[in-house]
Amino acid sequence: LSGDLKMQVPFPFSLLCLQVIKCKAAVLWEANKPFSIEEVEVAPPKEHEVRIKIVATGICRSDDHVITGALVMPFPIILGHEAAGVVESVGQGVTSIKPGDKVIPLFLPQCGECKSCLNTKGNLCCKTDLGTSAGLMPDGTTRFTCKGKAIHHFLGTSTFTEYTVVHESAVAKIDPAAPLEKVCLIGCGFSTGYGAALQTAKVKPGSTCAVFGLGGVGLSVVMGCKAAGASRIFAVDINKDKFAKAKELGATDCINPKDFNKPIQEVLMEMTGQGVDYSFEVIGRTDTMTVALASCQYNYGVSVIVGVPPAAQKITFDPMLLFTGRSWKGSVFGGWKSKDAVPKLVADYMKKKFVLDPLITHTLPWIKINEGFDLLRTGK
């Protein structure tokens, strides 16, 4: 085309990319089995969808919950929901994002239209796959095929693959200078923990906090409590190897329940007088959820459930724990409105308002994903 025609008819870059991509992915064919590295076909993005080349992805306990059956999802499936990448192509109608943009997929979308999105207090967008176990795109189909079989999506993200497709409402454009191998953690773990303290609990300066579970999310809660100005932060875990990093990130006291002959809530009551102002359960166990509730001040204490509850399990507890005034809250993605908050959190990281490096213990080539999950399960 001549120069004049090029000006009149813009070069349709994205149309050249709208074809099936064959790439490698970690497919989970059934529960309690290792991931299998397979060649998959990734279909082009449909209307209001975005196809992303994944650069870095984190391993989260929620992914492992699917493997063990604690979080029920259909098989076969491509897991992964904490990642960062570069937009490869966009479907018709996508205006907010273009090929080449650095992005973070959002397992909690923000459509901007449902009641939760429109309410200042809400963030659990109705378009999320969380709790539905559908494993499909919003139109009820999948973009992944392997060996002639349809492969399910996970939480609308599926990041254990070289390429994925997400809905436009489930992707956030971020600072092009951001290191993707670090800020991928803002896609889940860091934001979930940090926000649980700042957004959900709204920790007050000078208060006392207890954090049950010191994985990546728990450590992020510790960071959030410190950023909020908590005067005392109790870090609780049965793995004492986690204590040094917890103290590095702001914990003032580290407690191993195995060191005591009494319930840990009684220990915290004795150490604080009447219990902590805020407690956080960041494990996903029903027994520690009730312990965390009992650990906070009986009248105005706030306890937040951050860990994903296991499927088909119920909680039995003394209702007097709530009758006296305690508040029991849940927190999904730290209470952040994802599409609004993620670019701002990345900007804050770039301004050195918080650190992410201490949350990264290992960096592996992604084909060693099964080794990565072994490290997760052994607390390393």
Lowest mean pLDDT, pick from 156-170, 204-218, 301-315, 354-368: 301-315
Of 298 and 13, the one with more pLDDT: 298
**Catalytic-role residue among 65, 152, 153, 167:** 65
Q: How far apart are CA 216 and CA 73, in angstroms?
A: 23
Mean pLDDT, rounded, for 317-324? 92
pLDDT band with cut points at 50, 70 and 90 for residue 216: very high
Q: How many CB atoms lie within 10 A of CB 146?
A: 17
pLDDT band with cut points at 50, 70 and 90 for residue 70: confident
| Residue ranges of domains in the chain | 21-189+336-378, 201-330
Q: How far apart are CA 113 and CA 196, in angstroms?
A: 24
Sign of CA dihedral 96, 86, 143, 154: negative
The whole-model pTM stands at 0.91
Mean residue pLDDT of the chain comes to 92
The yes-or-no answer on residue 295 being catalytic is no
Q: Output the pLDDT for position 377.
A: 92
Distances in whole angstroms, Cα of residue 157 to Cα of each of 77, 163, 301: 11, 10, 35
The yes-or-no answer on residue 60 being catalytic is yes
Q: How far apart are CA 128 and CA 310, in angstroms?
A: 19
Q: How far apart are CA 200 and CA 192, in angstroms?
A: 10
Q: Output the pLDDT for position 316.
A: 87
- For residue 274, pLDDT beyond 90: yes
- For residue 278, pLDDT beyond 80: yes
Strand pairing class (232-236; 208-212):
parallel
Q: How far apart are CA 90 and CA 60, in angstroms?
A: 27
Superfamily of domain 201-330: NAD(P)-binding Rossmann-like Domain (3.40.50.720)
Mean pLDDT, rounded, for 90-115? 95
Of 17 and 207, the one with more pLDDT: 207
**Catalytic-role residue among 81, 152, 153, 167:** 81
Mean pLDDT, rounded, for 87-104? 96
The yes-or-no answer on residue 188 being catalytic is yes
Q: What percent of the chain has pLDDT over 70?
A: 95
The yes-or-no answer on residue 65 being catalytic is yes
Q: Output the pLDDT for position 374.
A: 95
Residue 146 structure tokens: 């392997």
Q: Output the pLDDT for position 308.
A: 83
- For residue 379, pLDDT beyond 90: no
- For residue 207, pLDDT beyond 60: yes
Cβ–Cβ < 8 Å for 232, 209: yes
Q: Output the pLDDT for position 311.
A: 73
Mean pLDDT, rounded, for 256-264? 95
- For residue 49, pLDDT beyond 60: yes
Superfamily of domain 21-189+336-378: Medium-chain alcohol dehydrogenases, catalytic domain (3.90.180.10)
The yes-or-no answer on residue 152 being catalytic is no
**Catalytic-role residue among 60, 117, 225, 296:** 60
Sign of CA dihedral 79, 81, 84, 86: positive
Q: Output the pLDDT for position 77.
A: 97
Q: What is the DSSP string of 319-374?
A: THHHHTT-EEEE-SGGG--HHHHHHHHHHHHHTTSS--GGG------GGGHHHHHH
pLDDT band with cut points at 50, 70 and 90 for residue 18: confident
Mean pLDDT, rounded, for 51-70? 93
**Catalytic-role residue among 111, 125, 188, 296:** 188
**Catalytic-role residue among 62, 116, 158, 191:** 62
Structure confidence by residue, pLDDT tens digits, 291-319: 999 999 999 999 999 988 877 778 888 99
Q: Output the pLDDT for position 143.
A: 97
Mean pLDDT, rounded, for 209-230? 97
Q: Output the pLDDT for position 130.
A: 76
